[in-house]
Structure 1
Amino acid sequence: MAVIEFLPDRLNSSPVVWRGFTAGEFLLAATVGFFLGIPLSLPLVFIPAVGWIAIPTCMLIMPIFVVFVGGRWVSSYKRGKPDNYLWRRLEEVRAKFGLHRGLVISSQTWALRRTPPFKRRGMQ
C-alpha cells in the first residue's frame, strides 16, 4: 500500500478569496459593513437634497469600505496564527458578553489551602 509521506498542513483549509479574507470572513465583513451603514446614514437623512436615499446608498457603500480597510487589518491580524483563530476569537468575545454558552471562560488563579489536621476523638 502506498503511503503519502508529505501531506501539507493547509490542504483542507479554506482558500483566501480576496485581500486576506476567506469566503466566510468576507461575508462577515460585508455584513458588518451593511449594518454599519444604517447608523452612519441617519445624519444624512436630514439634509434636504439627500433625504431617505442616503440609507440604502450607505448600506451599499459601507461593505465596500469595510472590506477594503478590513482586508488589510485582517491579513496583518491573522499573520502567523492558526486558520480558525479569527472565529475562535469571535466566539470568545461573544462568550464574554453572554451571547454564546458553548465556551467556558474562567480566568482565576488556583489556590491550594491546607486544612487543619484531623483529630480523632479519644486519642491524643
Structure 2
Amino acid sequence: MAELEGMSDGEIDYIPDRLIADPVVFRGMTDGEVVFIVVVGLVFWIPVCVLILMVFGIGIFGVAAGAGMTIVTLILAGKELTRIKRKQPDGLHIVYFKRLLQRKGLARFGFIDESASWDIRRSSPVERVNVVTDEEEED
C-alpha cells in the first residue's frame, strides 16, 4: 500500500499551528475576548451611568448610556489589544497582562521581574579541607 503524501507510518508529519486556534472575530480579538470585554464593560458602565444620570433625574437612560459606553470600550480595547498582539505569537498577550498585573501589585503569578545578586556573606576565607580517599590510604 502506498503512503499518502504528508504521512509516514500512519502519522501526519505536519499539522499547522493555527489549525485549532480561536478565530478572530472583531478588531483582532477572539470571541472569548469580545465576550469578556462586553461583560466587564456592562458590569462597570451601567451602574456608573445610572448613578450619574440619576443626579439629573433621568437615571433610566443610564442603561442605554452604559450599553453605548460598553460598545465604545469594546472598540478602544480592540484597538489596544491589536497593538499589543501585533508581531507576537498566539497567547503571549495573556503573559503580558499577567506581568502587568504583577508589576502593579494586583496579583502574583511568579514572574521574576527584578535583577539581584547573591552574596555568601563570609568575612574570612574558607579553609581547604584535605580528604583522604581509600585509594590514597592503600598507597
Q: TM-score, normalised by structure 1?
A: 0.72
Q: Counterparts in 2 of 1:71-86, with a 5 A limit? A: 71-86=78-93
Deviation of 1:83 (Å): 1.6
SS of residue matched to 1:17: strand
Question: What residue is the counterpart of 1:108 in the other structure?
Answer: 114
Overall identity of the aligned pairs, in %: 26
Question: What residue is the counterpart of 1:32 in the other structure?
Answer: 40
Confirm or deny: 8 A CA contact 1:20 1:74 kept in the other structure.
yes
Larger Rg: 2
Unaligned 5+ runs, structure 2: 1-8, 129-139
**In 2: Cα distance, 1:118 partner to 1:28 partner:** 59
Q: TM-score, normalised by structure 2?
A: 0.66
**In 2: Cα distance, 1:100 partner to 1:109 partner:** 20
Deviations for 1:39-64, whole angstroms, at most 9, x for unmatched residues? 2443222223xx22132222322221
Letter in 2 for 1:46: V
Root-mean-square deviation (CA, aligned residues, Å) is: 2.6
SS of residue matched to 2:26: coil
Unaligned 5+ runs, structure 1: none
Q: Relative contact order, CA 8 A, sep 6+: which one is greater? A: 1
Name the count of aligned residue pairs: 117
SS of residue matched to 2:114: coil
Confirm or deny: 8 A CA contact 2:41 2:73 kept in the other structure.
yes
Confirm or deny: 8 A CA contact 2:27 2:82 kept in the other structure.
yes
